Amino acid sequence: MKPLIIAGNWKSNKTTAEAMQWLQDFSGQNIPAHISVVLCAPFTLLYTLKERIQVDALPISLGAQNLSPFPEGAQTGEESARMVRDLADWVIIGHSERRKNFAETDDILQKKVEQAHRVGLKVIYCVSDDIMPIPPVEVVAYEPIFAIGTGIADTPQHANDVMKNIKARSQVAKVLYGGSITDRNVALFVSEQAIDGVLTGKASLEPIEFCNLIAAAAHS
C-alpha cells in the first residue's frame, strides 16, 4: 500500500481541555502502519499535546501552523524556529489564510522556510495552484482557495493533474491535497497516483470524524 500522510490543521481552534479530550477520543483508534498522522495545532497547545502523545505513545507527529521569519531575539510576539522545533517536527508555511489575512508574501515565506530548515523542521508548504513559486521543501499541499472550508472540494482528477505539474516543476517528493476533505471523499483523492495524502481543516476538529477519514483513506 502506498504510504500516506494525513495531516490535520486545527487552525485557531481549541482550548487545552478540548485538545486533551480530542486526544483521549483519538487514543483508542488503530492507525495502520502505512499512514503517517501529522497534527498541526496552535502554539498554545503544542507543549501539552507533546507530553501526552509521548506518555501514551500515540502515533501522531506534531506540527505548528506558523513560525517567525526571523531568528530568535527581539521580535515581540513571534515564535522562532528554534522554539517551535522544541515542540514540533513539522510546520505549515504559506497557508492561504496567512497569505490573505496576514499579508505573507513569497519573500516572507521563503524566510520562514529557511528558518524552519535551519533547525530541522519539516515543511508543509501550501499553494493554491501549480503556478505559485515553491521553495525546496519536504511536502507541498495543493489547496485551491474555492475549496477551503466551503464543502466544495476540487475533483480528484483535476487535483491529480495539478499535483503532477507541481511535482514535475518543484521536484518535491510528496504532495497533499487540501480543501473540503471528508471521510466520504478522501478515498477518491488518495487513490489518485500523484496524491500522497491530505491536509484537512474542519474534518480534523472532531476526533471520530478524523479517525473515520483515516480509516477511509487506509482502505482506498
What amino acid positions are annotated as catalytic residues? Answer: 95, 143
Q: Is residue 148 part of the contact set for ligand PGA (CB under 6 A)?
A: yes
Among 35, 200, 207, 214, binds ligand PGA (CB under 6 A): 200
Binding mask 9-48 for ligand PGA (x = CB under 6 A): x---------------------------------------
Which residue has 519573500 as its cell numbers? 107
Instruction: Specify whether the CB–CB gap between 10 and 18 falls below 8 A.
Output: no
Q: Which is nearer to ligand PGA, 63 or 201 (CB)?
A: 201
Among 6, 180, 183, 207, binds ligand PGA (CB under 6 A): 180
| Residue count, binding to ligand PGA (CB under 6 A) | 13
Q: Which is nearer to ligand PGA, 63 or 80 (CB)?
A: 63
**Minimum distance of ligand PGA from residue 63's CB (angstroms):** 12
Region binding ligand PGA by CB under 6 A among candidate stretches 110-118, 184-192, 198-206, 207-215:
198-206
Q: Which is nearer to ligand PGA, 135 or 201 (CB)?
A: 201
**Interatomic CA distance for residues 30 and 25, integer angstroms:** 12
